Structure 1
Amino acid sequence: MQKQQEAIIAGYLKKINEVIADIDGAKKQIDQLSLLRIGLFLSEILFFVLLLRSADDSLRTLIQFFLILPVIAFGIVVRRQSRLDRKIDYKKQLLWVYQNEWNILHGIANGYDHGKAFESEQHPYTSDLDIFGASSLFALTNRCSTKTGNMLLAKNFAEKSSRDRILLRQEAIKEITHKIAETYSFRANLHGYDPDKIEQIKMQLKSQLGEQLSFVQGSFMRFYVKLVPYIGVAVMLAALLVNSGFWKILALLVVVHIGWNVLLGQKINKVFYSFGGSSNLLNGYASAILWAENQNWKSSYTKSLLDSKNLVSKEIKALTKIIENFDARLNIIVGGVLNALLLWDLKCCINLDIWYKSSSKDVIVALDHLGDFEELISLATTAYNQPDWVFPVITDQFEFAAIHIGHPLIHEQVRVNNDFRVEVKPTVDIVTGSNMAGKSTFLRTLGINMVLAYAGAPVCARNMQLSVFSINTYMRIKDSLNESTSTFKAELNRLKMILDHVVKDKDTFVLIDEMLRGTNSRDKYLGSKVFIQKLIAEKTPALFATHDLQLADLITGHPEAVRNFHFDIQITGGEMRFDYLVKNGPCKTFNAAILLQEIGLKLDY
């Protein structure tokens, strides 16, 4: 597997170099076109000078013809240069995507959002299992640029799912993993834009645009705006060919048009500033949707995300064209002329209204579903980057069995993997051991892989089978000065939350690390004992990490409901060594005395 991942890294490096070469090539073409533009400008000046100096009518006619050629060529060059600029912008985003994957595989932080906004200490497990925030599961897997994608990924990590849904998502993620080479362009088309802007556009389409465009729904306005280009051409031809007095009529039309625009300016501005300047963003989103539309999807989960009968990418392209036309008003001279002669802003608003009534619903749904694709691609990319991870078997009977399971946030070179399985019936497994021996990491390893499994993702294990549980944890309990909550009170609140969940949901799986730290040792033991007995009575599976060896004796009274495991240390030449491997039975060796002795304190037993 090491060679396989090295090949993946080498593949990313190759793509990085290819994209850099493409960008350099495009920049050279732009430089060449810039020189060509200068040459065309100078040739236009030359032809103009020749025209002024020419006395021959036939030569003047020829020169006038040649005067047009640099202008046409200049326009073609500008368009070509504009396309190259867009290509470079896209390639830069694609470079970022490849570079980010290379970074992640080399232990550098993921450039996508790490999900700190989703952190909650009140959640049943996300805070304890490092699901959100820096150095979290979300930070490792997230490849979402949109707010919708980030929220969906967070939701699938934080909410219980059903077996059927998990299996459908596994199928979809596996399919995308096989298409992973094609997903990078999808991500590049979405990256680099302000996610708030697309949310603003979606909000406009959902609830505001129809009302804002009500002022262009009058039949007379629509008829006149449609007719006005023909009126303008007719009046100008009449002025040139019939009577110069028609220029006054044209001037009157211009005054009327300007007045009309000024009168409706506030309403026009409200529409424009919701969309203005977003053509590049929408082009990128349209390209991403086109990618999704062009795939021959087999997974029913993925197919359900493309439920429109129309090609939504074309509908967004049509919207983009309207917005690009609308953006002409940003140039005061061009916008002024177009509005004076053609009522350009009103024409754009009318076209937008027509588009809104025919296409907006499909586009809203498709823009939301982009987040679904991003979220699936996030987990598929993780599957591709980690070829030694496996998709777990989700069973419909009580089960949890894992072979060679490790913590996904610990680098492979230092990660220690363990085997673990539950009995046929629920048990409370008491895990004892020394400080730093690996108890807490082991509990988090099981929990975080369960979260991955229930999201439909692969897990950091050689093999894993499990049924669907509601995860509840008790690990990092903090006091709160703002809420005047002591550590002990915070612990009680957490215990109550777990007990409530255990009663409501019989499929709860509990992970507890050192319970009741905020009280004395006797109350801690008695409280832990009665809590374990409650879990046994409710037939709730649990792992209970503790330093209290007395709790291991509970197996005597509950031989079928309690199991003992431990993590130990090996002491060689006065030095401690940890293997971080879980073993059967209670712990016999502890390291507190050794650690205290190192700082000058000796215990007398």
Structure 2
Amino acid sequence: MQPSQNQVIEKYSKAIIETSQKIASLKTKIDRFSFLRVALLLIEILLFVLFVSSENETLIWVFGVLILVPIAVFVVVVKKQSRLSKAENYFKDLLWVYQNEVNVITLQENGYDNGTSFEDENHPYLSDLDIFGKSSLYALINRCSTKIGVNLLAAQLALPNVKIKIDQRQKAVQELTENIDGTFEFRAILKGNDVNGIDQLKQKLKDKLGKQLEFMNKPVLKVYIKILPFVMPIFITAGIIAGGKLWGILILILLIHAGLTFFLMKHINEVYYGFGGSATLLADYAAAIKWTEERNWKSEYIKNLFTSDKKVSSEIKKLSKIIQAFDARLNLLVGGLLNFTLLWDLRCCAKLAEWHQTSSSNVADGLERISYFEELISVATVSYNNPNWVFPIITNDFCLVSQDVGHPLIPRQKCVANDFSLDAKPTVDIVTGSNMAGKSTFLRTLGINMIMAYAGVPVCAKSMKISIFNILTYMRIKDSLNESTSTFKAELNRLKMILEKVQINNHPLVLIDEMLRGTNSKDKFLGSKVFIEKLIRVKTPTLFATHDLQLSELQTMHTEAVRNYHFDIQINNGEMEFDYKIKNGPCDKFNAAILLKQIGLSIDN
């Protein structure tokens, strides 16, 4: 049995409490280790003072040995504290994820990108249906932390899909919804990382790294680098024991190493650029990919995201270790010492070259897979948060049948659902009614739920069966001072776009809210009439919302092609009441006179 939305919120609230307790426990442990580090530092100072002040040779040896103990313990403490700090940061990100879900369910702001950058007023429906931007469908759905994931989700909402892909996406989303607990951990791992990180790493691995490592294709250099870790300790030990000329040879080798490193520095920097400081980022990506690899996925859509059976997470871990070693160059003292003795930068380049030959392509694909999972997880999270929403049935036959369909962006306690179906053949459905009665919201409700259906998102309805339409809308028409465009010219441009697309698009569906507002009532009626008749001739299903009751009379002229619906008002004790329910037939009650009277204007005879 599916949980109710209240039970979903309760589960998040419980997770918030448990995660907060874990963070508090970790913070206590971290603080203890901080005190221990201070204590070890004081002990080290004390032992050093005793060491330098002792005159007894035995005590000097004792304190000399004891000085090393706090240092060794200090190193262990730092490592443990670092692990605890990383765990604390992870649980803080997990806590943010849970808190953000409660915010989204209660229609507060989503902490992820709201898609403002994808807004496009020239698109056939994006602006009119509130797909992108603040308080949009995208803002409701998005849970992506990577640039690729953000773009993938945007494409799903802005571009048409085919039936087989929609069906596959639905099954993938259902499978992820069943594994929802793990998705919060997946998102916490990625939280806080650079949104462009995967894009940059993928580009580095696929397009740049191979060419940048070509300077390492010298057999002598490869062999020399490999034997250095064995040869250098022997030279140093011999120099300490024998001294003399061996020291001179050792210094010469160090100078040669310094010169070689300096000579190849341009190539080394090119290799390192794009990787520098990314060891932690790669470790996070490895953890995220490991989560995707550990499950036995059943849905075809998810299985197709895996291009090979190779465990990409282990390959990324190897890369992370190489980069971590490469990062030693960031410390001038340590980096200089390692380069003079072991040609450290070149050694790291050699390891990268070996890794690149065997793993680069698979890892690039694996990194991209993270973003595909992010996009699906975004949809699955919406599905989990709204257990009363349903996955629509997608059919090839001309069809739109919906029961209790509501607007997903309206609070559920305020949302009024309606039943609506298209006829078995294309018709123009004229929706008349009063101001504020719900005509515009109803058109947007149908449109936004259709976009959700085509993206594989469950719809805000009790049931829905739908074929795939190319949606065209005419709702929020704006003038433009920058482009010297009046409202009327903007309306004409939009109508031209619709007329062109109904001729070339497969299965268009038009949603129009109050056409030709920028002209006089006579031209508005005549223009609307000829436009409707044009849509009838090209057999385009249309919902046409209007205040113009004359347009409802077109049904007498086109009995098979025009249907009338309306939203009305009820007057109780002089007060208007709206039920926001769609009804058959044209409207016979309007509220303009009542609204004008409320501000002191009367149009009564």
TM-score interval, smaller chain: over 0.9
Partner of 1:383: 383
Tell me the equivalent position of 2:142.
142
Q: Which amino acid aligns with 1:255?
A: L
Which residue identity lines up with residue 531 of structure 1 in the other structure?
Answer: F
Query: CA shift at 1:426, angstroms?
Result: 1.2
Answer with 198-207 or 13-22: which moved more. 198-207
Letter in 1 for 2:470: S
Deviation at 1:89, TM superposition (A): 1.4
**Equivalent residues of 1:239, 1:247 under 8 A apart:** yes
What do the CA deviations read for 1:287-343 (whole angstroms, capped 9, x no partner)? 111100111111010011122221111111111111111111111111111111111
Which letter does structure 2 place at the counterpart of 1:80?
Answer: K
- Find the aligned partners of 2:511 and 2:106 in 1 and give their Cα distance: 31
Please state if 1:366 is matched with 2:366: yes
Give the match for residue 443 of structure 1. 443
Change beyond 3 A, Cα 1:562–1:400: same
Matches within 5 A, 1:517-536: 517-536=517-536
- Residue 132 (str. 1) matches residue 129 (str. 2): no
Give, in angstroms, the shift of residue 19 of structure 1. 1.3
The answer for the alignment partner of 2:554 in structure 1 is: 554
CA distance in 2, matches of 1:466, 1:205: 43
C-alpha separation in 1, matches of 2:412 and 2:572: 26
What is the CA–CA distance in structure 2 between the aligned matches of 1:352 and 1:377, rounded to whole Å? 33
Map of 1:12 onto structure 2? 12
Contact 1:400 / 1:464 at 8 angstroms: preserved in 2? Answer: yes
The verdict on how the C-alpha distance between 1:271 and 1:2 changes in structure 2, with shifts beyond 3 A counting, is closer
Residues 271 and 363 (structure 1), Cα distance of their counterparts in 2 relative to 1, 3 Å cut: same
Q: What CA distance in whole angstroms lies between the structure 1 residues aligned with 2:566 and 2:270?
A: 67
The answer on 1:163 being equivalent to 2:178 is no
Indicate the SS of the match to 1:472.
strand
- Report the residue type matching 2:559 in the other structure: P
Structure 1 contact 473–510 (Cα < 8 Å) conserved: yes
Q: Which residue of 2 aligns with 1:574?
A: 574
- 1:602 counterpart letter in structure 2: S
Q: 3-state DSSP class of the match of 1:464?
A: strand
How much has 1:243 moved relative to structure 2? Answer: 3.9
TM-score (norm 1): 0.97
Mapping 1:196-207, distance limit 5 Å:
196-207=196-207
Q: d(CA) in 2 for partners of 1:175 and 1:197? A: 28
Kindly state the Cα deviation for residue 62 of structure 1 after the two structures are TM-superposed: 5.7
Task: Between 580-589 and 210-219, report the one with greater CA deviation.
Answer: 210-219
How far apart are the structure 1 equivalents of 2:455 and 2:23?
37
Whichever residue aligns with residue 112 of structure 1, its letter is Y
Distance 2:450 2:405 in 1: 11
SS in 1 for 2:196: helix
Question: How far apart, in 1, do the equivalents of 2:26 and 2:383 lie?
Answer: 34
Q: In terms of mean alpha carbon deviation, does 237-246 or 369-378 score higher?
A: 237-246
Where does residue 82 of structure 2 map in the other structure? 82
Instruction: Give distance in 2, aligned partners of 1:163 and 1:76.
Output: 57
Which segment drifts farther, 220-229 or 512-521? 220-229
CA RMSD of aligned residues (A): 1.8
The answer for the alignment partner of 1:283 in structure 2 is: 283
Count of residue correspondences: 604
1: CA distance between counterparts of 2:266 and 2:243? 38
Q: Which moved more, 1:589-598 or 1:476-485?
A: 476-485
Question: 8 Å contact 1:512–1:545 — kept in the other structure?
Answer: yes
Give the TM-score of the pair, scaled to structure 2. 0.97
How far has the Cα of 1:463 moved from its partner?
0.9
Query: Could you give the per-residue CA deviations for residues 190-231 of structure 1, whole angstroms, max 9, x where no partner exists?
Result: 110111233222221221222222222222221222222223
SS in 1 for 2:120: coil
What percent identity do the matched residue pairs reach?
Answer: 55
Q: Is the 8 A contact 2:2 2:387 kept in 1?
A: no
8 Å CA contact retained: 2:509, 2:542: yes
Q: Which residue of 2 aligns with 1:94?
A: 94
Structure 1 unaligned blocks of 5 or more? none
CA deviation map 1:30-63 (0-9, x unaligned): 1212222233334444555555537465x76665
Distance, in Å, in 2 between the alignment partners of 1:338 and 1:324 is 14
Q: Report if the CA contact (8 A) 2:172-2:299 is conserved.
A: yes
Counterpart of 2:423 in structure 1: which amino acid?
E
**Contact 1:430–1:551, Cα closer than 8 Å, also in 2:** yes
Listed one character per residue, the Cα deviations across residues 83-106 of structure 1 (whole Å, up to 9, x for unaligned) are 111111111111111110111122
Q: Does 1:36 align with 2:32?
A: no
Query: What letter matches 1:542 in structure 2?
Result: T
- Secondary structure, aligned partner of 1:29: helix
Q: For 2:314 and 2:482, locate their aligned partners in 1 and report how far apart those are by CA, in whole Å.
A: 53
